[in-house]
Every structure is written in structure tokens, then in C-alpha cells.
Chains A and B, each alone.
Chain A
Amino acid sequence: MKKLLTAASLLALTTLPLLAEPLKIGVITTLSGPAGYLGEQVRDGLQLAIDQEGGKLGGVDVELVVEDDGLKPGNGLQIADKFMNEEGIKLITGIIFSNVAGATVPEVVENDAIYISPNAGPSNLAGAGCNKNYFVVSWQNDSLHEATGAAAKALGYKKVVALAPNYQAGKDAIAGFKREFGGDVTEIYTQLEQTDFAPEMAQIRAAAPDAVFQFHPGGMGIAFLKQYVQAGLSKDIPMIVSEPSADGVILNAVGEAAVGLKATTHWNADFDNEANKAMVAAWAAKHPDKPLTTYGQQAYDVGQLIASALKKTGGIDDLDAFRAALKEADFTSTRGDFKFGPNQHPVQDWFMVDIVAGPDGKPMWVTKEKLRDDVGDVYAAECKM
């Protein structure tokens, strides 16, 4: 009898569905310092996508494991190693800055793990350095600023001073801007994490350009814009920026002085599609105090992409199947048109937005026109996968 019971209970154990561990998604992102809110947006955007499905993505239980890279490439690499070797994580995302991505992504994708970028899309990983395990949902860095170059050209500017921090994304920014602008560009490189831009303001004044293009994400952007206004330059020289230099947090910090700025973007909260409306409403309900920025939107789209692939594969044990499912990009992006190019970077549309005073007096983006339709990036051709 006793034996029978034991046998029966053993049998019961084997037939019971094993309580599956949730699929862990590693998030390496920047949560500290002046750019800390960028990482917060990415984390919250991903979590929003997961919460909307009740803790799942594509029907699979998932769990985010979030770590702060402190905007240090060495930290990013260390966290990635810990994720892969100690926690057995096979799916990683989250990196904001291209210098951190440059150090971390190759380590991940060359060790049979998948990396999906919610932001950084450095040029060196888009062309010859592309990898079948590396997907970018946001944009390739250059294309982000090519749109701004196209806008500056359309606005009739001839002579522009372009400023960006001296790191991979900054170089990509100026290269991208120049490619589509085609006019006379004076380049000024600043330092990553610089906070005092007084010497640069003096150089801008001396150069007396038709317009200023600048790329300074996060706290740098707040400092730059404020000091641009304080230096009295905003009255005389219009500024045109790409989305990271005029996100909702920056606009709130700068206040009404930001009204009149021109910006280019791949997404705006006012886009008229169902996926976007659902996301904007869910975000507003969950984070009433935080403006939703492109970083949050990009991470939300990463969540949707992962969900679309998990729905087909049910897990990531079969990495080839999961990769193939990701590549199909079978989800409705909040930005509208979206598909992957040959280097697994987005092919998408670009828009110009006006920055106007919103109903509450705070500056906000209003979509003005589509600048570019279905464009990928210039490095795609160099990618041999």
C-alpha cells in the first residue's frame, strides 16, 4: 500500500506541470547621473509592455533583471558577463549610450545570446560589425540625425554650427546630419557628461550661423539648452535638434524658452494609430508625473517585438527559431511603419515636429510633416550576415 502511494505520488509529480521559472530578460541601462532618466524610461517602457499582458510577453511569463551601467562601458561589460554566466540570461536589452553598447554588445552576441537595442545604434555595429544575434528597434544613430539634416535643408539654412559630444554617437550624429544637410557645417565636439557649455556658446556667437544643430541627450541637453537661452543666443539663432535633445523631460526643465525649437523624430505621442494610443493611455495612467519620451516608446516597442516572437516560439530555448521570429518583426509598432533591414536595423519613417506651448503651458511636440519615408541606414549594404 505504502509503495503504491509513493508510486502514485511520484507519478502525480511527473504529470503535474512544472512551475516554470519566468523567462529572464537582462536590462543593462543608465540609471544614475544626469542621463539617469533615460534608463528609467527604458525600464518603465519595457515593464509597461509586460504589465499590459499581465506579467507576460507573447503568453510567456517574463521577468526583468535591471542593472545600472552608470554610463561606463566597463560596467556594461561586467553586467553582461554576470547576466550570461551567473544568471544564465540569454536575452539582453536596455543600453542607452553607444560607448557602453560598443563595449558590451559584441560580448553578448558572440556568446550566443540575443541583444535587442532599445536606443543606441552605433555605426560600427551596423555595417561590417553586424551580427545575427543583434537587433536594433530604435534607429541607427546616423539616420536619427540624417532626418535633422534633411529638415535643416528644407528650412533653407545654409550655414550651421553642429555640436555633439566626442564619442561614437556624437560622431555618428554629425556625420548623419552632414550627409543629408549638404550645406556649410562647423563642427564642435564637446565632452560626454560635460555640464558647462559657456566656451561653446562663445564659439557659436562668434561663428554667427543660420542655425545651430546640437546632439546632447539627457542632462547634458538640459544644461545646453538652458545655457543657450541664458547666453541670449536663442533670440537670434534658431536651433534644430533630433529627438534625444528635446525630449519631454528636457522641455519641462527648460520651460517656455524651448517653444519655437524645431525637432525631428521617428515617433510622437500624437501619432494616430491604435498601438500608440493604447501605449500613451497606459503610460499616462501609470506614470502621471513622468512625460513619455522616445526612450520609453522604443523600449515598449522592444517589448512588443519580443512578445511577437515568443508568441510563435513559446520560449528562447530554440535560439534559431526565436531569432527568425524576431526578424519577421510581426508586431504593430507604435510609430507606424516598421520593418527590419538586412542588418536588422529599422526601416522606418521620419517626421518634423514643432515645439509649441501645450494646454498646460508646458512645451510639447506637435507633428508637422513627414520628412522621409521608409528609410533604413547607409551601413546596411556593408553588412554580410
Chain B
Amino acid sequence: MILFLEQLLNGLQYGVMLFLLAAGLTLIFGIMGVINLAHGSLYMIGAYAGTLAAMQTGSFWLGVPVALIAAALTGLVMEAVVIRRLYARDHLDQVLATFGLILFFNQSIILLFGRQPMFTQLPDLFSGAVEVIPGLPYPSYRLFIIAVGLLVALGLYLIINRTRIGMLVRAGSTNREMVRALGVDIRLLYTLVFGLGALLAGLAGFLAGPVLAVQVGMGEQILLSTFVVVVIGGVGSIKGAFVAGISLGVIDTMLRAFLPGMLRQVMAGPEADALGVGISSMGIYLLMALVLLVRPKGLFMAGS
């Protein structure tokens, strides 16, 4: 029971990470129609900038605004210089250009900081473990990540559903042409959405720093799962990104945690683990295939 609960928390924490990345990606994809492979680079830039600031100043909390600002600024510049030229082009051009951006950012980071990963210290406040229920101490930093993720989800919900900007975002993801025809400055909206997406990616990157390693290519490791979240959740839907992100996080962790153990009952250790890991890493893709069979446009396709 305790084991199950702990794995559930692990899954929740991973799911929240996926959500933070997928929220931006799904908006950019849904509203602007751009496939942005370089979203993982924004995650990496947030992680590097925030971690550097935290190391220089010695304060974890000062890293947060630096990560957000660095990622958002990079996002805005990226939108103005590269992405803006891609709106009218087809998806292949977008994929090529944003893949080029990945290479560009990865090499830039290697030139600036080298290939070695940076390891960050946890903030003192969250360096220990909290006893969630008796007999289950859980790292308080991971609980903090979960809390931040849920807060961001709530904030996004309020922005999207209760504000004028949110109304435009919803309208934009449903019918872009109509929004433009009604005289809304769609270009400004695009820039805002891209900046917001970049900001969330930067936040996710910085939060991931102390748990994972801050290193070149960290974005690509998580990007693929993020795309699966976007596809399952429905392109352009924040709600979809939330539901799909959390479920995929939990399902992936549960499969990874329990499948090898079950297989080990019937076969030898390393083979069971290899097979278990293989199947569990296929798990989310199988799920995606199933969802697409039943709902070809994802669970919560915007405007459906």
C-alpha cells in the first residue's frame, strides 16, 4: 500500500512535469499551427539560466525569475526571428527549422558551459523528506514540484476561462481565421502565447534541475513524451494537456515500477527487467494508439 502510494506520488510528479511542458506546446500547436520541436530547448535554457543564477547567488529562489525570464525572452526572440516566418509554410519546413534550432541551442550550450552536467543543490526549505503518511517519508522537493504544477494548472485555467486574453486564446485555437477577420491583432496574440509557452517550459526545466541533471539534450529526453501528451490530450486544449499529462505520468511510472516485478515471477531477473522496461516504455505509445482509434483528435480537441 505504501509502495503503491509512493509510486503514485512519483507518477504525479512526473505527470506535472509533462503537463508544464505540454501546456505550452499544445497552445503553440493549437493556436499558431506550428510544430515546435525546439520546445525542449526552452526547457533546457530555463534549467541552465536558473541553475546558474542559483549557483552564483547561492539562492535557489532567485533562480526562479531568472529561469522564467531567460526562457520567455529566448522564446520571444525565437518567435520573432524564426517561427514568424514559418506560419504560412507547411509542417515539414517547421519541423526542419525547429530541429535546426535544437542543434543550434545544444551546440551553443556546449560552447558556453561544456558537456558536463550541472548538479544543483536543493533549497534548504525543501532538502529533507516529509512523512506523508506514517511510514512513508517523501522528498519534500518533489511535493513542491507537484504543488507548483497544480497551481500553474489552476492559474492557466483561470486565465484561459476568465480573462479576455484567454477568450482570444480559446477563439484562436478553435478558428484562427475568424479571430483575425474580427480585427484582433493575431500576431501579438501569437507572440504572447509563444512567450507563455516558453515561460512554462523554462519553469519546468528549472524545477527539474535538482531532481535530474542539468545537461545538454535534457529537453529531447522529455520532448517525445510531451508530444504524446499533446496528441492524447487534443491539440490546443490545456485541459487535455493536464488530464493526459497526469495520466501518462502515473501510468508510465506504475508500469515501470510494477511490471518488471510481475514479470520476474515468471522469468529470470535481467530478462524480466529488460522486457518490463521495454513494455512499459511502449505503454504510453500503445495508449496513444488506442486513444487515437477511439478519438482521432484526442480526448479534448479544442472546438470539438
A residues contacting B by CB (< 8 A) are 31-34, 36-37, 68, 166, 171, 174, 187-189, 191, 195-196, 198-199, 201-203, 205-206, 219, 222-223, 226-227, 230-232, 253
How many angstroms from the CA of A33 to the CA of B10 in the assembled complex?
Answer: 25
Contact residues in B for A191 (Cβ distance below 8 Å)? 277
CB B107 to nearest CB in A, in angstroms, measures 12
Cβ-based interface call for B290 (8 A): no
Q: List 5 A-B contacts (CB under 8 A).
A: A36-B117, A166-B274, A187-B269, A196-B212, A202-B7
A223-B212 in contact given A33-B115, A189-B270 (Cβ < 8 Å): yes
Q: Which of A34, A199, A253 contacts B7 (CB 8 A)?
A: A199
Q: Which residues of B contact A223 (CB under 8 A)?
A: 212-213
B212 near A253 with CB under 8 A, answer no
Considering only CB atoms, which chain B residue lies closest to A162 in the complex?
B269
Q: Would A32 and B115 count as touching, CB distance under 8 A?
A: yes
- Does B3 sit at the interface, judged by CB under 8 A? yes
CB distance B129 to A199 under 8 Å? no
Give A9 to B268 CA distance when docked, in angstroms.
75
Answer yes or no: B141 CB below 8 A from chain A CBs: yes
Cα A68 to Cα B115 with chains together (Å): 11
Q: List residues of B (111-153) whose CB comes within 8 Å of A's CBs.
A: 115-117, 119, 122, 127-129, 136-139, 141-142
The answer to whether B274 and A203 have CB atoms under 8 Å apart is no
User: What is the bound-complex CA distance between A33 and B139, given in angstroms?
Assistant: 26
Q: Are A222 and B115 in touch, CB under 8 angstroms?
A: no
Q: How many Å lie between the Cα of A198 and that of B13 in the bound state?
A: 10
In the assembly, what is the distance between CA of A206 and CA of B142, in Å?
19
Q: Which 4 A-B pairs have the closest CB atoms?
A: A232-B129, A189-B273, A232-B137, A32-B115
Whether A199 and B141, one on each chain, are in contact in the complex, defined by CB atoms closer than 8 angstroms, is no
A contact patch SS? helix
| Segment among B30-38, B49-57, B78-86, B252-260 that sits at the interface with chain A | B252-260
Report which of B13, B138, B217, B270 forms a contact with A166, defined as CB distance below 8 A.
Answer: B270
In the assembled complex, the CB of A174 is this many whole angstroms from the nearest CB of chain B, namely 8
Using Cβ atoms and an 8 Å threshold, which residues of chain A touch B116?
36-37
* Closest residue on chain A to residue B6 by CB atoms: A202
- C-alpha spacing A32/B116, complex, angstroms: 6
* B215 on interface, CB distance cutoff 8 Å: yes
Question: Which residues of chain B are near A201, meaning CB under 8 Å?
Answer: 6
Q: Given the complex, which residues of B lie within 8 Å of A33, measured CB to CB? A: 115, 117, 215-217
B139 touches A230 (CB 8 A): yes
Write out the residue numbers on chain A whose beta carbons fall within 8 Å of the beta carbon of B277.
Answer: 166, 189, 191
Q: How far is the CB of B225 from chain A (nearest CB, A)?
A: 12
Contacts of B273 in A (CB 8 A): 166, 187-189
Q: In the bound complex, do residue A219 and residue B270 qualify as a contact, i.e. CB atoms below 8 Å apart?
A: no
Do B142 and A198 have beta carbons less than 8 Å apart?
yes
Closest to B110 in A: A32
Q: Is the CB of A203 within 8 A of B257?
A: yes
Tell whether, in the assembled complex, residue B10 and residue A198 are in contact, meaning their CB atoms are under 8 Å apart: yes
Determine if A253 and B3 form an interchain contact, defined as CB atoms under 8 angstroms apart.
no
From A166, A189, A205, A253, B2 is in contact (CB under 8 Å) with A205
Q: Is the CB of A199 within 8 A of B137?
A: no
Evaluate contact between B137 and A196: CB separation under 8 angstroms. no
- Complex CA gap A33/B117 in Å reads 6
Residues of chain A contacted by B128 (CB below 8 angstroms): 230, 232
Q: Is the CB of B127 within 8 A of A189?
A: no
Cβ of A222: which chain B residues have Cβ within 8 Å of it?
A: 119, 213
Q: Are B137 and A231 in contact (CB under 8 A)?
A: yes
* B96 adjacent to chain A (CB < 8 Å): no
Known: A34-B213, A202-B7. 10 other contacts (CB 8 A): A166-B274, A195-B212, A198-B253, A202-B10, A203-B3, A219-B119, A230-B129, A230-B139, A230-B142, A232-B129
Enumerate chain A residues within 8 angstroms of B215, measured Cβ to Cβ. 33-34, 219
Known interface pairs A191-B277, A202-B3, A202-B10. Does A196 touch B211 (Cβ–Cβ under 8 Å)? yes
Tell whether, in the assembled complex, residue B14 and residue A196 are in contact, meaning their CB atoms are under 8 Å apart.
Answer: yes
Closest A residue, CB atoms, query B7: A202
Q: Are B269 and A189 in contact (CB under 8 A)?
A: yes
Are A189 and B274 also in contact (CB < 8 A) when A222-B119, A230-B139, A232-B137 are? yes
Binary interface profile of B, 15-32, with partner A (CB < 8 Å = 1, else 0)?
000000000000000000
Tell me, rounded to whole Å, the shortest Cβ–Cβ distance linking A216 to chain B. Answer: 12
Q: Which residues of A contact B257 (CB under 8 A)?
A: 199, 202-203
A203 to B260 Cα, complex, angstroms: 12
Q: A120 vs B131: C-alpha distance in the bound complex, in angstroms? A: 41
Q: Whose C-beta in chain A lies nearest to the C-beta of B128? A: A232
Name the residue on A nearest B256 (C-beta). A199
- Is the CB–CB distance between A205 and B6 below 8 Å? yes
Q: Tell me the smallest distance from the CB of A154 to a CB of chain B, in Å.
A: 25
CA distance A230 to B143 in the complex (A): 12
Mark B196-221 against chain A: 1 for CB-CB distance below 8 A, else 0.
00000000000000011101110000
Q: Which residue of A lies closest to B268 (CB)?
A: A187
CB neighbours of B256 from chain A (8 A) = 199
CB < 8 Å neighbour of A34 from B117, B122, B137, B142: B117
- Bound-state Cα–Cα, A120 to B256, Å: 28
Contact of A206 with B213 in the complex, beta carbons under 8 Å? no
Q: Which residues of A contact B137 (CB under 8 A)?
A: 231-232
The CA-CA distance from A224 to B6 in the complex, in Å, is 17
Closest A residue by C-beta to B254: A199
Q: Bound complex: CA of A187 vs CA of B128, how far in Å?
A: 27
B211: nearest residue on chain A (CB-CB)?
A196
What chain A residues lie within 8 Å of B213 (beta carbons)?
Answer: 34, 195, 219, 222-223
CA distance A231 to B212 in the complex (A): 14
Contact call A231/B117, Cβ cutoff below 8 A: no
User: B14: which A residues are within 8 A, CB to CB?
Assistant: 196
Alpha-carbon distance A24/B7, docked complex (angstroms): 52
